[in-house]
Structure 1
Amino acid sequence: MLNVKTDKIVGSRRFSNYWWAICILIGGFSFFLVGLSSYLHIELLPFTKSSDILFIPQGIIMIFYGTIAILISLFLWLSIFWNIGGGYNEFNNEQGKVIIFRLGFPGKNRILKLEYDIQDIQAIKVNIKESITPKREIYLKTKDNREIPLTSVGQPLLLSEIEEKATFLAKFLDVILEGID
């Protein structure tokens, strides 16, 4: 029988984060250059005629919005580089341990590593909320009523997938399954 199960958790290195980081950087840089062109009266972008824009108020606002967009893009790129939220869930029946490992922002709390004994686990809980932004999550419920999320952030899993994963985990850890009716 399989005694160790490891689930990889994708953090901020998702396609959508790359997409938004690129789009925001290009848009922000373009806004910044158009605003700067209106101040310098020089065309910094070859495909626009931005020197006709008045520096006050349009140019200065475009520089401001461009700077904000570049900073947001920088935040996204750093999150991708540091893989914020990435990690793994390890369920080890040989050692009787469950390890939840996640990466955070640099600093003294960069690494989050939670270790639990399997006998301290009360149940696997499934939380399903259907709305415009559906939530389909699997939690590890401990005997002291802590609920630790096991699913990654991003696209919600299909109902059949979440049911299958939760059922497998409950059987693997020999605990009850809560939340699926």
Structure 2
Amino acid sequence: MQGGTTTMNWKSKKLWIKLIAGARKLSNVFWAFTVSVGSAGFVLAGISSFLDRNLISFVPPQEIPFFPQGIVMLFYGFGGCFISLYLWSTIFWNVGSGYDGFDRKEEVASSFRWGFPGQKRRTTVRVYIKDIQAVRIRGKEGPYGYRVRYMEIRSQVLVIRRDEDLTSGKVEEEAVELAFFLRVPIEIS
């Protein structure tokens, strides 16, 4: 069993399973916590300006008039509460986690992901390996760069993984390994 921070692999001659971690990452917990604390601070500042009482020790309520600053702080605070609720929900339900499986014995490639609760919580895609024409890599470098690995399947595209965390070399290495395992060509665009 090989391991990494975001994925784990199990590989034999005929079967390759890649477990995908999903939303339960340290960076997501950090941002959910930061947005929660920040939005709570904005709500407390807005309420303290409305009540004209000191609910936050380092900001006197006389310095923040309720109209318009207090109202705006309440608005941003409640907006931040909804965003943090969304972030904590994705972490709790581990949205995006699942696996990619490639079975050369059964000649099937499958991708499974967990989503939000509901009728479409489980997403599964299965394709025959003989229908896979190529493994492709697309990427953009820079501060907002990304790397995408996907499979071209007879006039369709199946995204394998989009990753901002991996280096270009690691993305290419994994794509080459997958193309070799599936016995299909690799294309870089």
Using structure 2 for the length normalisation, give the TM-score.
Answer: 0.86
SS of the aligned residue for 1:2 comes to coil
Q: Report what 1:151 is aligned to.
A: 161
1:37–1:51 distance in 2 versus 1, CA, 3 Å: farther
Q: Report what 1:74 is aligned to.
A: 85
Q: Which of residues 35, 38, 56 in structure 2 aligns to 1:45?
A: 56
Displacement of 1:112: 0.7
SS of the aligned residue for 1:150 comes to strand
Work out which structure has the larger RCO, using CA pairs closer than 8 Å and 6 or more positions apart in sequence: 1
In structure 2, list runs of 5 or more residues that go unmatched: 1-11
SS of the aligned residue for 2:95 comes to coil
Deviates more, 1:104-113 or 1:127-136: 127-136
In structure 1, list runs of 5 or more residues that go unmatched: none
- Larger % of strand: which? 2
Moved over 4 A (4+): none
CA distance in 2, matches of 1:147, 1:106: 26
SS of the aligned residue for 1:151 comes to strand
CA distance in 1, matches of 2:70, 2:150: 50
| Contact in 1 for aligned 2:147/2:163 (Cα 8 Å) | no
Q: Does the alignment pair 1:174 with 2:177? A: no
CA distance in 1, matches of 2:62, 2:137: 57
Identity of aligned residues (%): 37
CA RMSD of aligned residues (A): 1.7
Alignment of 1:127-146 (within 5 A): 127-143=138-154, 145-146=155-156
Using structure 1 for the length normalisation, give the TM-score.
Answer: 0.90
How many residues align? The count is: 178
CA distance in 1, matches of 2:146, 2:163: 10
Alignment of 1:1-181 (within 5 A): 2-143=13-154, 145-155=155-165, 157-179=166-188
Deviations 1:87-131 (A, max 9, x none): 111111122111101112221111110011111111111113334
CA distance in 1, matches of 2:175, 2:164: 18
